[in-house]
Structure 1
Amino acid sequence: MAQRVIAGRYELQQLLGRGGMGEVWVARDGVMQRLVAVKLLQAHLGTTEGEELFFREARTAGTLSHPGIVTVHDLGRDRDGTLYLVMENVPGQNLAVVLGKGLPPVGDVLAWTTQAADALYAAHTVRIVHRDLKPANLMLTPAGGVKILDFGIARYISTRTMASRVIGTVAYMPPERLLGKVGDIRGDLYALGCVLYELLTGRTPFGDLDTPALMYAHVNTPPAPPSSHRPGLSPHLDALLVELLAKMPGDRPASAADVRDRLHHLPASSPPGPPPTPRAEPDYRNGGTVTGGLRPPPARPTMAKPSHQPWTHTTIGPVRTTPAVVDGTVYIGSYDKKVYALDAVTGTPRWTHTTSSGFWARLAERVVSSPVVVDGTVYIGSGDKKVYALDAATGTPRWTHTAGDWVLSSPTVVDGTVYVGSDDCRVYALDAATGTPRWTHTAGGWVRSSPTVVDGTVYVGSNDCRVYALDAATGTPRWTHKAGGWVRSSPTVVDGTVYVGSNNCRVYALDAATGTPRWTYTTGGGVLSSPTVVDGTIYVGSCDGKVYALDAATGIPRWMHTTGSGVYSSPTVVDGTVYVGSDDKKVYAVDAATGIPRWIHTTGGEVRSSPVVVDGIVYIGSDDRKVYAVDAATGRASAS
């Protein structure tokens, strides 16, 4: 019997399972000649609401790039109207299946949960919430890695206070969701606590209750400590579960990174000696106290949670790099030839690293390349012709690689390889651990565009007016596209389309597989800003002093917002707001749907740095030699 083929490309081979969103099949990709997983929307969900949810899943998951999150390859609508989503085929078995075979070793449980927390942190950093974390959505690969599988009901964190409906699996659902509130990233931490509890004990925190009783327990009842079901567990695990399963979101850990780090250092078993004495804790709903539930050991000190406030930090040179904000630290470069690590809460320097000087000192003082932080290492280029790998905690160099000219391109790190361009007309692929070259590709002009790596292909622009698609493993060209001007804009790849700007006043949408143009849009000035694509809209700046919002499928303008000068900064879109800088010395926050300004913050210099928004703070640099931390809701800055 002939197998069904989706979109003339994906031959369905084996049904993996059915869920609330649809069916998942193993399929063979006839173009790439590889196995993939294909999700089909259930017929009964073929409503406008169901389709919106399906495409939101794809677009949300497609923005995430992390080894612990399943990769989205493609999506679309088949000829018969069926909606489909194509993902990497992850071998292994989900943790619900693993649990069905018996309790796993505690050490394995801690390792799996640590990996899941790290992946959640990557999603939360870009304001994406999973909202349905459970063992069935955590795939254990043969190599022992864990991947989060279904961002099927993930959404960008809403500014609303009440949810329109409850979506998810009740056994792992946080109390605030059951009470009708939207919730935020701390809801994922509660669900992760439920998963950890089940992996440790073989049962969910409240056992096999019927749905109404289970909902009541989530909201009102403290669960028994996991050590009561599995003697010998460390009291520190009990303590961590207290926080993860706290009824009030504010009582949970500050971030998934905090959970990850604590899991990494937790002992698997209890040390010799008497167990900690349970103590009563307030019952905030009934006005009394409860005893015998999950309790922290009395000796455990409470950790103060950071309070993010606006601040500014002054460097010695203009700041045009895009900040990287990771684990409470802001990493940024400056024209003063330094890389800075600043405390994200206060702006206090944690360390600075000075790049080389010498003959090139006057020009090489520029650190224009934006840092990227991966696995505790800061990767950044410099005008002194070097790529640096610095220890994120101390700034100590781990290695440097010397190119033939300035490195103004910002590095991209994927699967242990650093991809970066140089003014020596080359694209480099370097080993992330050692800096050893894996390959180089020579373009026809400077490479100041930052590479984008998707599905084994490196997309990058050059001053020879071309966009290149290179094999990520070998550097072999797959295609090139000739634009009408310099391509210093960094490509953005979403849903099989490459979006990129050019100095010839155009924005291009190119087929990611072939480089064939899908559409072009002409602005009134050069486009050196890199496009940002969110929910079917492209946001991009132009030297004509405008920010454009274009339909991703057609290039038709949705709105334009005019600033006082050229816009070289790349927009950042968070919670329905577009944040962008301009050469008129201002930072703008405009409504993503209409382009209407919400606030404007004035700096003392041109703003070519691209903003980064984390925990309600906008981090951005300016030519006035300052790094700003500005309140994302109001644009308020410190008085200094």
Structure 2
Amino acid sequence: MIFCKTQRLIGLLLIILWPSLWSSAGDWPTYRHDNQRSAITLESLKLPLSKRWQLIPAQPPSPAWAKPAKFDFYVSPQTRKPLVHRLAYDHAYHVSAVGSRVFYGSSAEHTVNCLDAYSGKEKWVYFTDGPIRFAPSVYSGRVYAGSDDGKVYCLDANSGRLIWSYAAAGKRNTLVPNDGRLVSPWSVRSSVVVDNGTAYFTSGFFPHEGVYMSAVDYVTGKASKKHHWEHYHLNKGSFQGYMLLSDTKIYMPGGRSTPFYFDRNNGNRLGQFAKGSGMGSFALLADNRIFHGPADRSGGVMTEAGLSGDRAASHVDAVDMIVDAQVMYLLTSNKVTAMTRGSRRLLWSQTVEGGCSMVLAGRTLYIGSRNKVAAFKVNNGQVQWKDTVPGNPLGLAVANGALIASTDSGAILSFGQASDYPSAWILY
């Protein structure tokens, strides 16, 4: 009898303390982990992993843009390749994860969703008036998400309660028909980036209608301090993709053009990276380099450039990249390659089938490929673990003891250690 009571007490204690036991583990508070979109975390997962839970939303993703034409017929047939989608930022429900919660936005149901990280069960849902196309950002107990209804929303991370909303276009913000939906001409297509108490985002993507770039207080949603501002860019480009921050600049993918960069202090446009190569909605910052793409007019390419706009190199057919202090990892549709960052000396290369995405967690490289996720040793590329997923895993995250995969079917899956959880007899 005493033994049974002790079991129950231990089980209850673990239930109560379980979220706090994980609070010191690594969070994934925004898309690709940080505002430089590095996709790198120091957290390590103990392999092998097993599937914890799988969520299949009622509606799959509803992308903003249709697939591209098969070819650019202005390009010579001798060099012509199938075009790579330049605006594929919303083809999966990308996640952020902090503490015991996982967050994602739905482009189909127009919601911000919160899940329990350990069971996958829904904690709360917040409805907006338009598609949410980018992963929410989590900062200081608040969740930030931009909607195609032209507003940015700040929600309480625990309850989903609305704290504030902000429409940069003000009274001009209206909803118009678009592909069977009502959206704003000033849809938020930049994600929301939060740093040092300020939330940054853009509203609008039609150059002739103008695009607002805003920096507001993360608590109040107002431009209330000296370093807060709103800048209106007319005929200065279409900004679409996940925004990036350095200490002094804002970098914004250009969708069907190369990225633009702005002064972080006032929103003034400073320039655009060399036109014609590395177009698309992908970008990452690594020290004094920006890597952007994944397309040009003749096919797939990832462009490497200095932060002043000078083009340094091209990485043909790359669909994803990770760049740490010493090594670059390049993923194409059929292989992953590791090379030294300075001399570009090949370290190893492994075949993959339908490469989609990567994250680097500790000393393990996780790769999403066609209907599969796998773990590779970073020193030699040896496969350590793999499992199947329903669809192509376009997004990966590692947070608080779990690998989270988001696929183009709309599925979200969590993989962790079976031993991470109290067994049924303890929880009884």
Mapped partners of 1:558, 1:618: distance in 2: 25
Mapped partners of 2:354, 2:195: distance in 1: 35
| Cα distance per residue 1:197-244 (max 9 Å; x no partner) | xxxxxxxxxxxxxxxxxxxxxxxxxxxxxxxxxxxxxxxxxxxxxxxx
Q: State whether structure 2 residue 316 is matched by structure 1 residue 538.
A: no
Q: Which residue is equivalent to 1:587? A: 373
Deviation at 1:566, TM superposition (A): 5.2
**Alpha carbons of structure 1 residues 501 and 546: separation in structure 2 relative to 1, 3 Å:** farther
**Alpha carbons of structure 1 residues 552 and 405: separation in structure 2 relative to 1, 3 Å:** farther
| Secondary structure at the counterpart of residue 310 of structure 1 | strand
**Alpha carbons of structure 1 residues 508 and 551: separation in structure 2 relative to 1, 3 Å:** farther
**What amino acid is the match of 1:565?**
G
| Secondary structure at the counterpart of residue 262 of structure 2 | strand
The answer to whether the Cα contact below 8 Å between 1:444 and 1:463 also exists between their aligned partners in 2 is no
The answer to whether the Cα contact below 8 Å between 1:607 and 1:623 also exists between their aligned partners in 2 is yes
| Cα distance per residue 1:524-555 (max 9 Å; x no partner) | 36x4x4x332242233444x444443433355
Give the one of 295, 310, 315 matched to 1:522.
315
Q: Which residue is equivalent to 1:387? A: 152
Mapped partners of 1:441, 1:482: distance in 2: 23
| Secondary structure at the counterpart of residue 611 of structure 1 | strand
Q: State whether structure 2 residue 305 is matched by structure 1 residue 510.
A: yes
| Cα distance per residue 1:241-294 (max 9 Å; x no partner) | xxxxxxxxxxxxxxxxxxxxxxxxxxxxxxxxxxxxxxxxxxxxxxxxxxxxxx
Deviation at 1:377, TM superposition (A): 1.2
TM-score, normalised relative to structure 2: 0.66
Mapped partners of 1:533, 1:122: distance in 2: 25
Q: State whether structure 2 residue 357 is matched by structure 1 residue 564.
A: no
Give the one of 410, 415, 418 matched to 1:630.
415
The answer to whether the Cα contact below 8 Å between 2:371 and 2:390 also exists between their aligned partners in 1 is yes
Mapped partners of 2:220, 2:346: distance in 1: 45
Q: Which residue is equivalent to 2:74? A: none
Deviation at 1:327, TM superposition (A): 1.9
Mapped partners of 2:396, 2:117: distance in 1: 14
Deviation at 1:603, TM superposition (A): 1.8
Deviation at 1:423, TM superposition (A): 2.8
Deviation at 1:325, TM superposition (A): 1.1
Give the one of 103, 117, 120 matched to 1:344.
117
Mapped partners of 2:373, 2:255: distance in 1: 28
| Secondary structure at the counterpart of residue 231 of structure 2 | strand
Q: Which residue is equivalent to 2:101? A: 329
Figure out how many residues of one structure are paired with residues of the other and give that number: 323
Q: Which residue is equivalent to 2:205? A: 423
**Alpha carbons of structure 1 residues 159 and 485: separation in structure 2 relative to 1, 3 Å:** closer
Mapped partners of 2:417, 2:241: distance in 1: 28
Mapped partners of 2:267, 2:359: distance in 1: 30
Structure number with greater Rg is 1
| Cα distance per residue 1:99-143 (max 9 Å; x no partner) | xxxxxxxxxxxxxxxxxxxxxx789447xxxxxxxxxxxxxxxxx
Mapped partners of 2:302, 2:343: distance in 1: 12
Give the one of 57, 60, 66 matched to 1:318.
60
Deviation at 1:351, TM superposition (A): 0.3
**What amino acid is the match of 2:327?**
T
| Secondary structure at the counterpart of residue 488 of structure 1 | strand
Q: Which residue is equivalent to 1:409? A: 190
Q: State whether structure 2 residue 286 is matched by structure 1 residue 494.
A: yes
**Alpha carbons of structure 1 residues 321 and 351: separation in structure 2 relative to 1, 3 Å:** same
Q: State whether structure 2 residue 164 is matched by structure 1 residue 375.
A: no
| Secondary structure at the counterpart of residue 420 of structure 1 | strand
| Secondary structure at the counterpart of residue 449 of structure 1 | coil
The answer to whether the Cα contact below 8 Å between 2:404 and 2:415 also exists between their aligned partners in 1 is yes
The answer to whether the Cα contact below 8 Å between 1:324 and 1:332 also exists between their aligned partners in 2 is yes
Q: Which residue is equivalent to 2:426? A: none
**Alpha carbons of structure 1 residues 368 and 590: separation in structure 2 relative to 1, 3 Å:** farther
Deviation at 1:449, TM superposition (A): 2.1
**Alpha carbons of structure 1 residues 330 and 156: separation in structure 2 relative to 1, 3 Å:** closer
Deviation at 1:485, TM superposition (A): 4.1
Mapped partners of 2:409, 2:242: distance in 1: 24
The answer to whether the Cα contact below 8 Å between 1:391 and 1:397 also exists between their aligned partners in 2 is yes
**Alpha carbons of structure 1 residues 157 and 623: separation in structure 2 relative to 1, 3 Å:** closer
Question: Cα RMSD over matched residues?
Answer: 3.3
* Within-5 A mapping of 1:50-449: 124-125=26-27, 156=42, 310-318=52-60, 320-334=92-106, 335-357=108-130, 364=131, 367-402=132-167, 404-421=185-202, 422-425=204-207, 426=211, 428-431=213-216, 432-436=218-222, 438-440=229-231, 442=233, 444-449=236-241
Deviation at 1:633, TM superposition (A): 10
| Cα distance per residue 1:539-580 (max 9 Å; x no partner) | 3444x444443433355554444433252x3x2101221223
Structure 2 unaligned spans of 5+ = 1-22, 29-40, 62-91, 169-184, 224-228, 420-428
**Alpha carbons of structure 1 residues 395 and 620: separation in structure 2 relative to 1, 3 Å:** same
**Alpha carbons of structure 1 residues 314 and 159: separation in structure 2 relative to 1, 3 Å:** closer
| Secondary structure at the counterpart of residue 482 of structure 1 | coil
Mapped partners of 1:550, 1:479: distance in 2: 30
Q: Which residue is equivalent to 2:258? A: 466
Q: Which residue is equivalent to 2:31? A: none
Mapped partners of 1:386, 1:424: distance in 2: 16
**Alpha carbons of structure 1 residues 597 and 471: separation in structure 2 relative to 1, 3 Å:** same
Mapped partners of 1:465, 1:316: distance in 2: 34
Deviation at 1:612, TM superposition (A): 1.4
The answer to whether the Cα contact below 8 Å between 2:53 and 2:414 also exists between their aligned partners in 1 is yes
| Secondary structure at the counterpart of residue 273 of structure 2 | strand
Q: State whether structure 2 residue 420 is matched by structure 1 residue 607.
A: no
**What amino acid is the match of 2:105?**
G
